[in-house]
Amino acid sequence: MRRLGPIALCFHALFVAFILAPLLMVVAVSFTDKGYLSLPTDGLSLRWFRAILDNPDFIDAFWVSVWLALVSATIAVIIAVPASLAIARKKFPGREVIAAFLLSPLMIPHLVLGVAFLQFYSKIGLGGSFYGLLAAHVILITPYALRLALASATGLPREAEDAALTLGASRFTVFRRITLPLILPGVAGGWLLSFITSFDELTMSVFVASPATQTLPVRMYHHITQTIDPLIASVSTVLIVLTFGVMLILDRFYGLDKIFVGKG
Amino acid sequence: MSAKALDKTPFLMTAPGVIFFIMLLGVPMLMTFLLSLHSYDFTTGIQPDWTISNYIEVLGDPYFHKIFGRTFGLALLVTVICVLIGVPEAYVLAHLPNPWRSVFLLVVLGPLLISVVVRTLGWALFFGGKGVLTMIASGLGFGEEPVSLMFTFTGMTIALVHVLVPFMVISVWASLQKIDPQSEDAALTLGASKLTVLYRITLPQVMPGILSGSIIVFALTASAFATPAIIGGRRMKVVATAAYDEYLSTLNWPLGAAIAVILLVVNIVIIVSYNKLVERRFAKVFE
């Protein structure tokens, strides 16, 4: 391990400051005791956190987002697990085409997905519905679940499964008792990454969501384009804290660096 | 399991995803493409004709030239800055002693999990007319005039670098992990200076990481919506915000669809040609 010089460490400190500055800024502003945007110079106040409770539209949007992310991440995993086992462990014609197709949303800008769903749903009468939003999110996040499931299913040893089959276990028992536990870290990591991706998504949802099905990022976006006030800072602070908690879990589970390699 | 005619299981296992994707991805994407081939009339709406007039308008109108030029200029600038600061940071991270390495990896990558809206809001607070930038400027004696980077190209660039630089760091970090440290040691033992080792040994080996980071950053900047919409606003339109306005303000959906199709095609061309390039030039590094 080569030692780092003082210039490298200075650069590192500046870089970290650059990364953290806007987040700390949001947190600082949210504790202001003034009625307008300002840094809390004379005393901290929780008034803008209490103000969230008086704005049920943010709370409603939060629950829409949580519910949407829970259900869509679960559906994405249900689609991704069998597909990943087939793609990683079997040879069949069209295998690569199917894999590329199921991963293709990663290459499509969210804006393009958004306008495509906007038109499609208004044609088939699903415009602004929760189910439309849900289906759109499943399409968007399935590649994330699939990629992590594929990574765990590739190179999985078959001996234990063969032994169980020989000893008379049913196919389903083998899956439940042997295969699934072996790929579980990838599946769980994929579920959590899908959940966060769905929860944070703005660009596509802004086209698909109606006022009744606004997700939290969409609600916040519309608020910011109207006015930037301490309320939006306190909502953001709550999000930062929640995300930080999820991040620690994800890092324990899987390693943040592994999750993000090649994302995008 | 004998190899009879054809094993159906893999198809059954991938069927839920494939059917769902055909119905809810294939069909909408095809419909958007077809929509872009219709013309639009401001009184009667979408016409039943078939025409490429929307593409001619987008590719021929100086207004759209400016927007596409700005978008790809922005993408290029953001990518270059991300290389300049992201690559050294990845190198520093890889050489930090262990408790610190994990901590700072978390600090650098963690923001990727925080909503882009929140991260952009942080910069909006810095950039706004009564924001911190003004306070710093007046504190340094530059007068009381408000300094604002809201609705400027510079402001968009800074915020987008912040949003996307973690992708560059992680991509270079991943290729640094694959380097055999002995190759650097060997060069040092043979008398190369530290700088020579960096340029001749380390840099060539992380080149694939820098390239793949660049392509991710470029593609995501070119199609970015939230940050340009909040920081750039209506005054600094990019492709994504222009398409948004065509759909939700002007209601000229066919024109918006043409913009979206062009954005998609450019995105795919860049990604695919990059992959080809890497396969050819860096085949050895990936062995």
Query: Mean pLDDT per 10-residue run, chain A (264 residues)?
Result: 80 96 93 78 84 92 96 97 93 92 93 95 91 96 93 85 90 90 88 92 94 94 91 95 86 72 44
Residues of A in contact with B92 (CB under 8 A): 4, 8-9, 11-12, 15
Instruction: Flag whether pLDDT at B286 surpasses 60.
Output: no
Cβ neighbours for B165, distance < 8 A, ≥ 6 positions apart: A19, B81, B82, B85, B86, B89, B217
Rounded to a whole number, what is the distance in Å from the CA of B119 to chain A's nearest CA?
6
pLDDT on residue A207: 94
Which of A11, A23, A142 is nearest residue B111 as measured by Cβ atoms? A23
Number of domains in chain B: 1
Tokens 């950039």 correspond to B127
Over residues B61-70, mean pLDDT: 94
Residue B88 touches chain A, beta carbons under 8 Å: yes
Residue B74 phi, psi (nearest 5): -60, -45
Q: Residue A248's domain spans which residues?
A: 53-260
Pull the structure tokens for residue A188: 């769980």
Instruction: Flag whether pLDDT at B279 surpasses 60.
Output: yes
Which of A92, A120, A221 is nearest residue B7 as measured by Cβ atoms? A92
Number of domains in chain A: 1
Q: Report if residue B12 sits inside a domain.
A: no
Nearest to B24 by CA among A39, A218, A142, A73: A142
Mean pLDDT of chain B: 88
pLDDT, tens digit (0-9, with 9 covering 90-100), for A117-148: 999 999 999 888 999 999 999 999 999 999 98
pLDDT on residue B28: 96
Residues of A in contact with B170 (CB under 8 A): 257, 260-261, 263
Residue B139 touches chain A, beta carbons under 8 Å: no
Q: The domain spanning residue B100 has which CATH number? A: 1.10.3720.10
- What is the C-alpha separation between A203 and A87, in angstroms, rounded? 30
ipTM of this complex: 0.88
Q: Report if residue B19 sits inside a domain.
A: no
Q: Global pTM?
A: 0.89
pLDDT, tens digit (0-9, with 9 covering 90-100), for B105-137: 989 988 988 999 999 999 999 887 666 677 777
Q: Directed axis angle between helix B203-222 and helix B253-281, to 10°? A: 170
Instruction: Flag whether pLDDT at B3 surpasses 70.
Output: no
pLDDT on residue B140: 73
Residue B54 touches chain A, beta carbons under 8 Å: no
Q: Report if residue A220 sits inside a domain.
A: yes
Q: Residue B266's domain spans which residues?
A: 32-281
pLDDT on residue B144: 65
Q: How far does Cα A62 stand from its chain's mean position?
A: 14
Residues of A in contact with B32 (CB under 8 A): 112, 115-116, 119
Residue B83 touches chain A, beta carbons under 8 Å: no
Which of B28, B121, B212 is nearest residue A117 as measured by Cβ atoms? B28
Closest Cα in chain B to A143? B17
Q: The domain spanning residue A82 has which CATH number? A: 1.10.3720.10
Rounded to a whole number, what is the distance in Å from the CA of B137 to chain A's nearest CA?
16
pLDDT, tens digit (0-9, with 9 covering 90-100), for B21-63: 999 999 999 999 999 999 998 888 888 889 999 999 999 999 9
- Say whether A107 and B267 touch across the interface (CB within 8 A): yes
Band of pLDDT at residue B1, cut at 50, 70 and 90: very low
pLDDT on residue B129: 64
Q: Please, are residues B167 and A260 in contact by the beta-carbon 8 Å criterion?
A: yes
pLDDT on residue A134: 97
Residues of B in contact with A196 (CB under 8 A): 113
% chain B with pLDDT above 90: 52
Residue B283 touches chain A, beta carbons under 8 Å: no
pLDDT, tens digit (0-9, with 9 covering 90-100), for A18-45: 999 999 999 999 998 877 777 777 778 8
Over residues B213-236, mean pLDDT: 92
Nearest to B125 by CA among B115, B137, B135: B135
Q: How far does Cα A167 stand from its chain's mean position?
A: 41
